[in-house]
Amino acid sequence: MSEALYQVSLAVNARARLGESPLWHPIEQLLYYVDIPSCQVLRFKPATEQLMRWDVGSEVGCLAPLEDGGLLLAQRDGLWRLDTTTGQRTQVATAPYDTATQRFNDGKADPQGRFWAGTVYEPREPALAALYRYTGGQFTSMVGEAVTANGLGWSPDGRTMYWTDTRAHTIWAFDFDGASGVIANRRVFSTFARRGAEQSLEDYGGRPDGAAVDVDGCYWVAMYEGQRLLQLSPRGERLREVVLPVRCPTMPCFGGADLRTLYITSASDKRPAEELASQPWAGCVLQLRVETPGLPANFARLA
C-alpha cells in the first residue's frame, strides 16, 4: 500500500458537528450533505462558495436525489421529501424501527432507484441495527445484527454491493441482483484491527465509515478516528492511503463536472478540546483531486 501525496484543501469552511452523506447532484452540479445532530441539510455551490442550510426537525442520516426533483431524506422518524426550491418537507414513510433507540444513518439509492438506508442502534448493545431497502412503499430488512450501518456502495457493473458495520471494523461484499434487489453470498471484503485498550489514537488506523466507488471499481473509505482515507481495489487490497488533517473523516463522494474532485465530510462532535484546537478543519468538508473519476449518484424512485 502506498501513501498518496494528494493536495488536501478546505472545500467548505463551516464546522459541522457530524458532517455526513455528501452527495454531488448530477444535474444541479452542487454539493449536498448533512449535519446529523444539528438536524440540518446543507447545500454548497463551489463556484460562489455559497452555503445554504435547511433545518429539518430531526436527525437526518443520509439523502439521495429524487428522480422527479428534490431530495429524499432518511430522518429518525422516517423518509421525507425535501423540496429544495420551497423548503417544504413531505413525509413519505414512517420509520420501521423504534425511534427511541435507533435512527437512520448511511444510505443511498441503488442503480435501479431503490433506496437503501442503514440504522444506528444507540444503546450499542445488543447489535440491533439493520440495513433496510425501501421500494414499492415498503421497508424490508436486508441485513441485521449491526450497531452502526455505513459504507454502502455498488460496483460499476452493479453486481456487487458493499456495506459496513463500523463498530465491527469490517466491510462486507454481497452479490447484488439488480432486477430483484436481492443480496446474497455475504463475504468479508476488508477488515481492520480494533483499537487496543492502551493504544493511542496516533497508533490506531481507525474504523471504516462512509465510502464511495470509482469507475475502476475501487472503494474509497473514510477511516473514522484514523485520520485517513483508504483506496481499496475491487478485491479489497489496500492500494493507497491519504493522510488527512482531521481525526474523524466520515464519508467521501466524487464531485465536480468531471467527478474527479473527492469531497470528504468530517466530525467535530464530542472530540477533545485539544484535538479541535490543533485541527481547525475538523467538522468541515475537505477536497482533493484524483486521477480516476467516481460513479455518479443514483436517483431514488418512490413509485
Record the cell numbers describing residue 299, joined without a space.
436517483
Find the DSSP H helices in the chain. 273-278
Distance, in Å, from the CA atom of 79 to the CA atom of 174, rounded to the nearest integer, reads 25
Q: Is the peptide bond before 126 cis (omega within 30 degrees of 0)?
A: yes
Q: For residue 302, is it within any domain?
A: no
Per the structure, how many domains does the chain have?
1
| Residue 168: per-residue pLDDT | 97
| Residue 93: per-residue pLDDT | 98
CATH number of 127's domain: 2.120.10.30
Q: 110, 165, 209, 214: which one is catalytic?
A: 209
Nearest Cα neighbor of 263 from 278, 241, 244 is: 244
Per-residue pLDDT of 218-245, as tens digits, reads 999 999 999 999 999 999 999 999 999 9
Name the band, by pLDDT with cuts 50, 70 and 90, for residue 52.
very high
Record the cell numbers describing residue 77, joined without a space.
422518524
Q: For residues 5 and 24, which has the higher predicted lDDT (pLDDT)?
A: 24
Name the band, by pLDDT with cuts 50, 70 and 90, for residue 120.
very high
Q: For residue 303, is it within any domain?
A: no
Sign of CA dihedral 121, 15, 244, 72: positive
Q: Which residues have a Cβ under 8 Å from the Cβ of 2 and sit 6 or more positions away?
A: 239, 240, 241
> What residue numbers bound the domain in which 75 lies?
2-289
Per-residue pLDDT of 186-196, as tens digits, reads 999 999 999 99
| Residue 5: per-residue pLDDT | 67
Per-residue pLDDT of 26-46, as tens digits, reads 999 999 999 999 999 999 999
Q: What is the mean pLDDT of residues 268-291?
A: 97
Provide the 10 A C-beta neighbour count for residue 185: 9
Catalytic annotation present for 209: yes
DSSP string spanning 96-145?
A: SS-TTTEEEEEEEE-TTS-EEEEEEETT-SS--EEEEEEETTEEEEEEEE
* Amino acid type, 67: E
Q: For residue 169, is it within any domain?
A: yes
CB-count exposure of residue 68 (10 Å: 0-12, 13-18, 19+)? exposed
pLDDT at 206 over 90: yes
Phi then psi dihedrals of residue 194, to 5 deg: -75, 160
| Residue 80: per-residue pLDDT | 98
Distance, in Å, from the CA atom of 243 to the CA atom of 241, rounded to the nearest integer, reads 6
| Average pLDDT, rounded, for the chain | 97
Q: For residue 301, is it within any domain?
A: no
What letter would DSSP give residue 167? G
In terms of phi and psi (left: phi > 0; alpha: psi -120 to 50; beta: otherwise), the region of 7 is beta
Q: For residue 52, is it within any domain?
A: yes
Count the residues in the chain.
303
| Residue 303: per-residue pLDDT | 78
Q: For residue 296, is it within any domain?
A: no
User: Which stretch of DSSP H or E encloses residue 31?
Assistant: strand 31-35
Q: What is the mean pLDDT of residues 270-291?
A: 97
In terms of phi and psi (left: phi > 0; alpha: psi -120 to 50; beta: otherwise), the region of 39 is left
| Residue 6: per-residue pLDDT | 83
pLDDT at 1 over 90: no
- What's the pTM value of the predicted model, to 2 decimals? 0.97
Are 44 and 30 contacting, i.e. CB atoms less than 8 angstroms apart?
Answer: yes
Which neighbouring-strand residues pair with 12? 285
Name the band, by pLDDT with cuts 50, 70 and 90, for residue 149.
very high
Distance, in Å, from the CA atom of 129 to the CA atom of 117, rounded to the nearest integer, reads 11
| Residue 4: per-residue pLDDT | 58
Q: For residue 297, is it within any domain?
A: no
Q: For residue 300, is it within any domain?
A: no
